[in-house]
Amino acid sequence: MSSSQQTAVHTQRGTASELVRIGAATAAAVVVNLLILWAGSAAGASLEIDAPYDLNAAAVALSTAMPMLAASALVVLLARRYPAARRWFAWAGAAFALLTAAMPFTVAEDTATAVTLALMHLVAGTAWLTAIMPRPTTR
């Protein structure tokens, strides 16, 4: 196998493992956020927010998965052109999740709901770092 063929195979494997990692991190974030929703409800959180939709399992699953998958797709595409920026994208996304963890305290009807939502933001940020942070390559 020529070196260009080896590079192509290595790139395909890297992309496949990257997609698996993104999918697994997203699925894990959805499951953990649903568990947090259940725990918050069991702890007495009203789960009432100032939004045009109800805070339920479907909203949590979609609000966790869609941004992670869309942002991951964008990072994967941009990293092909600017591979050195991947680490910056990873930390920027985690910082965004951390900063937006304060937002639920402005829209929640009660503190228990705000804490529940803030924890979900932290879970999403952790999953994002797990999915997007560059990994050392080995051959």
**pLDDT at residue 53 greater than cutoff 60:** yes
**pLDDT at residue 6 greater than cutoff 50:** no
Q: What is the mean pLDDT of residues 4-28?
A: 71
In the chain, % of residues over pLDDT 70: 88
**pLDDT at residue 129 greater than cutoff 90:** yes
The pLDDT, as a whole number, for residue 135 is 76
- Who's near 22: CB < 8 A, 6+ residues apart? 68, 69, 72, 76, 131, 132
Please answer whether residues 119 and 97 qualify as being in contact, where contact means their C-beta atoms are separated by less than 8 angstroms: no
Residue-wise pLDDT tens digits, 75-109: 999 998 998 889 999 999 999 999 999 999 999 99
The pLDDT, as a whole number, for residue 10 is 41
Q: What is the mean pLDDT of residues 23-39?
A: 98
User: Residue 42 has which token pair?
Assistant: 């069991």
The pLDDT, as a whole number, for residue 139 is 56
| Cα 70 from Cα 31, distance rounded (Å) | 18
* 20-24, 57-61, 133-137: least confidently modelled range: 133-137
Tokens 């195979």 belong to: 9
* 8-12, 55-59, 79-83, 128-132: least confidently modelled range: 8-12
